[in-house]
Every structure is written in structure tokens, then in C-alpha cells.
Amino acid sequence: MTPNPRARGPHPACPYACRAARPAATASPSRSPHPRAHPPWCSPCPAPPTAASRSLAEEVSSIARSELPGLDARIGYLDGGDDEFPSLEAVLAQAGAEQKERIGHDGPADQPAAVVVPLLAGPDSSLLRRIRQAIMNSGSGADLTDVLGPHPLLAEALHVRLSEAGLARADRARLFTVATAADGIILATVGGDEAVQAAGITGMLLSARLAVPVLAAGLDEEGAIARTAEQLRGSGSQQLALAPYLIGPELADGLLGAAAAEAECASAEALGAYGAVGRLVLSNYAAAVGITLQQGAPVAR
């Protein structure tokens, strides 16, 4: 029997950018009087820790840091364990130790040692369960924020990725036409029913932007992509496109290509380190630590 390339299995590894932010004096957000020992952000990946997954986490971190100068970001991995790819648990334990040292000098801490911001577009119960376990094992008492979506900024990012692939008009207001523009979008995610439902909310926002039907489906559910493609074609869509509602590291090799072949359509790239992703990470972080961001930065849901 040929194995299903899209069958769901355990995630072998998940990198986490651990954001320990110490905003510099040049930053203008208002803050509480006691500086915080700061935040781990988490960037799950379904492959062993690699330079590519670390590069993506660092790029997202750089976007966030550009909006909040002085932000200190650290990267850990659920399946890490050496100096090059430290485990999330070890990074959080270090943040906890640093907080204890500060408390000795400055008195009681008024904030957690770290804030973990999952670099996930939507919920994935198996990954989030592993994150919570790593936080608990670290003994750091770190906070864990919500995932990034659903959010209008992610609908914007999906639109951009589709337009880059020639599958959507870049600007509907200017009526810029693309010969290969899709008239039906499959929003592909992983993480089970909860993830599909959450993706569907962002899908409605994307549908409003593109004026075409958008349906969410699970890459990790047998036959879901094909059924969704059939449903869209049955309602009149002739030219479909696959839009990954995923940051990227959580996307197993070959999964997207297999899904596009199953739906017999082209696919856009994953969201990756799009600017809106970095801004949403910062927004979730800021809400957790009580920072009021400058005008123009997104407000957490």
C-alpha cells in the first residue's frame, strides 16, 4: 500500500523564537515601571531544527524588532538540545534563572520570566500541548499567548501570496486583471477541525477581498482537499487555487505539492515571514506584557 503523503503524524520538531524583550530608551511605547524579563515566542516546525526554520524565525523577529527597538528575541526548539539548536525548555529555564537574579537585585518581579508567542496562523492542539509541557517542565512560569489568527492581517498576507503566484489580482480596487486568477480558493491548514474552523473565519475575510468563494480544508485530513475542490467546482468555480494558511515551518515536505495535485490546481506559497506575521507576533507579545504600541502597529484581538 502506498503511504499517504498527507497523513498526519507527530511533529518531529518545532522551533520557537523566545522573545525576551527589553525595549530600549528610543522606543516610544508606554510601559510599566518595572522592566520585564521577557518573551519566548514559539515557531513550530514539522522537521528537525534547521538553518532554514531558524532563519524564518529570525526574520519574523527582525520585523517585530523594527516596530519595537530593543526587543530581545531568543530561539528554542521543541526537539532541540544543543548549543546550535537549544530546546525551548532550556531557553525558558534560562529566562527563569535570569529573572531570579534580577529579583535579587530589584525586588519582586511584576511580570513573567518570558512570554511565548506561538508562530502559528491557527490552533494546533498537538503542538500547543507540547508547548505547554515545555513551559511547565522549564519551571519558568512563562506566559503563553494565543496563536496569530484568525485576523484580517492574515487575510491580507494570503492575498499577497496568491497575487505573487499569479493566482489573484494584486489590487481589486484598480481592477488589475490576472489571466490565471482563481475563481475559487481552498484555504489549506493543519491541526484538525478546530484549525479548519479558525481558518474559515480568515477565509471569509479573504473572500471579501477577492470577491471569490473561499473554503477551508485540512491538509492532514484524508480526502479533505479533494472534497473541497469538488464542492467549489460544483458551485461554479472553474479555476481553483490552493492557499496555505500556514507560516511554513509546520508544513511537512511534499505535503503542499501532494494537496495541489489532489485538487488539480496551482498553489501559492506559505505565509512565511510576511510583514503582517511579525506585526501580529509583536501585537500578541505587547498585549501580554502591557505595552501600548505606537500608532500604526496592530492591536491584539
pLDDT score of 108: 59
- Position 91 pLDDT exceeds 60: yes
Phi-psi region of 141 (alpha: psi -120 to 50; beta: other; left: phi over 0): left
Q: What is the rounded average pLDDT of the residues 127-134?
A: 91
Parent domain of 256: 152-267
Distance from C-alpha of 74 to C-alpha of 88, rounded to nearest angstrom: 9
Residue 6 contacts residue 35 (beta carbons within 8 Å): no
How many CA atoms within 13 Å lie on the side-chain side of 36?
A: 26
Q: Are residues 140 and 285 in the same domain?
A: yes
User: Is 67 found in the same domain as 167?
Assistant: no
87 or 33, which is more confident: 87
For residue 177, pLDDT beyond 60: no
CATH of the domain at 217: 3.40.50
User: What is the per-residue pLDDT across 237-246, written as a single tens digit (0 to 9) for each?
Assistant: 999 999 999 9
- pLDDT of the residue at 44: 41
Mean pLDDT of the chain: 79
> What would the mean pLDDT of 146-151 be, rounded to a whole number?
93
Give residue for cell 513573567: 112
Could you read off the pLDDT of 210-266 as tens digits, one per residue?
999 999 999 989 999 999 999 999 999 999 999 999 998 777 778 899 999 999 999
Share of the chain above pLDDT 90, in %: 43
**Residue 201 Cα distances to 96, 122, 150, 193, 198, angstroms:** 37, 10, 6, 13, 5
Write the pLDDT tens digit of every residue in 260-295: 999 999 999 999 999 999 999 999 988 988 888 765
Does residue 49 lie in a domain region? yes
**How confident is the model over 171-181, as a mean pLDDT?**
60
Mark whether 163 and 253 lie in a shared domain.
Answer: yes
- Of residues 111 and 268, the one with the higher pLDDT is 268
Number of domains in the chain: 2
20-59 residue pLDDT tens: 433 333 333 443 333 344 444 545 453 457 788 788 888 9
Instruction: Examine residue 7 and state whether it is found in any structural domain, yes or no.
Output: no
137, pLDDT greater than 50:
yes
pTM equals: 0.81
Q: How far apart are CA 147 and CA 118, in angstroms?
A: 5
The mean pLDDT value for 154-158 works out to 95
Higher-confidence position of 226 and 172:
226
Residue 248 and residue 261 in one domain: yes
Query: What's residue 136's pLDDT?
Result: 95
Do 142 and 34 share a domain, yes or no? yes
In a domain, 6, yes or no: no
Res 121 pLDDT > 70: yes
- Assigned domain for 294 exists: no
More confident residue, 42 or 124: 124
Let me know whether 136 and 285 are in one domain. yes
Contacts of 9 (CB under 8 A, 6+ apart): none
Least confident piece of the model among 22-26, 59-63, 180-184:
22-26
